[in-house]
Amino acid sequence: MSGRPQGSGENWLWGVHAVSAALANPKRRLKRLVGTRNGLDRLGTQVSRSEVLEPAAIDALLPRDAVHQGLAAQFEPLEPVHLDEIVGAGIQRVAVLDQVSDPHNLGAIFRSAAAFGFGALILQTRNAPAITGIVAKSAVGAIETVQECRVVNIARALEALSDAGYHTVGLAGEGEATIEAAVSGSNKLAIVLGAEGPGLRPGVAKACAELARIPIASEMESLNVSNAAAIAFYAAAR
């Protein structure tokens, strides 16, 4: 086992992209900014108050596997928005995640959402990871631009989205339509992705207006959920 000290990492973000994006977000409240001299120099004019630390001292503040690139910052967490706010803000592309639990996958989905014009991710209040530094590092700054919404019940949230005019498309291997056909022509769209392995729960699948599949080679059973999300978001962006 590594002898590196391990901090709790609570409310810490690390890495140049994650920290830079958070500092540029007016909704963020900075508590502490630390970095090596080279790391802080990379921030340029974004630096207001900061502490110069050796890499080992930064290591001690963060989880053991954190790759911080000489830069870390502690912020007050962003507050999730309510589903009504997503609808009211006119966000036309959203993704709904049904118990996606891996923080690296969640971060990658945030990144793809930002890349392809999806303005919000809707997750459960339970059975879904918090937006930690691990998520933020994988998201490469996208947690600052893609809204996080938490709901108690995914199926009910889909019903509310449907009532608000969203076409709700669940990704499932048994879907009759391809993802390209399912998302075509939808002005308001919600793409629903299930957990790694089990996929969509039956009640969530039933709440979708349509189930769609990504055509893949017969030798492969399925795709990683973050890869599937990127393909579905791209199809919608086209």
Mean pLDDT over residues 174-193, rounded? Answer: 93
Of 233, 231, 187, 186, the C-alpha closest to 210 is 186
> For residues 153 and 121, what is the distance between their CA atoms, to the nearest angstrom?
14
Mean pLDDT over residues 39-61, rounded? Answer: 87
Report residue 5's pLDDT band, with 50, 70 and 90 as the boundaries: very low
Q: What is the residue extent of each domain of the chain?
A: 12-75, 83-237
| pTM for this model (two decimals) | 0.89
For residue 37, pLDDT over 80 is answered with yes
**What is the DSSP track for 178-216?**
EHHHHHTT-SSEEEEEEBTTTBS-HHHHHHSSEEEE---
CATH topology of domain 83-237: Alpha/beta knot (3.40.1280)
Lowest-confidence region among 40-44, 155-159, 192-196, 202-206: 40-44
Mean pLDDT over residues 136-153, rounded? Answer: 95
For residue 100, pLDDT over 60 is answered with yes
Lowest-confidence region among 24-38, 45-59, 201-215: 45-59
Supply the pLDDT for residue 2: 46
> For residues 143 and 131, what is the distance between their CA atoms, to the nearest angstrom?
8
Conformational region of residue 30, where left means phi above 0, alpha means psi within -120 to 50, and beta covers everything else = beta
Report residue 47's pLDDT band, with 50, 70 and 90 as the boundaries: confident
Question: Starting from the edge strand earliest in sequence, which strands make up the sheet with 30-35, in order?
Answer: 12-14, 71-75, 30-35, 51-52
Segment 104-131, tens digit of pLDDT? 999 999 999 999 999 999 999 988 889 9
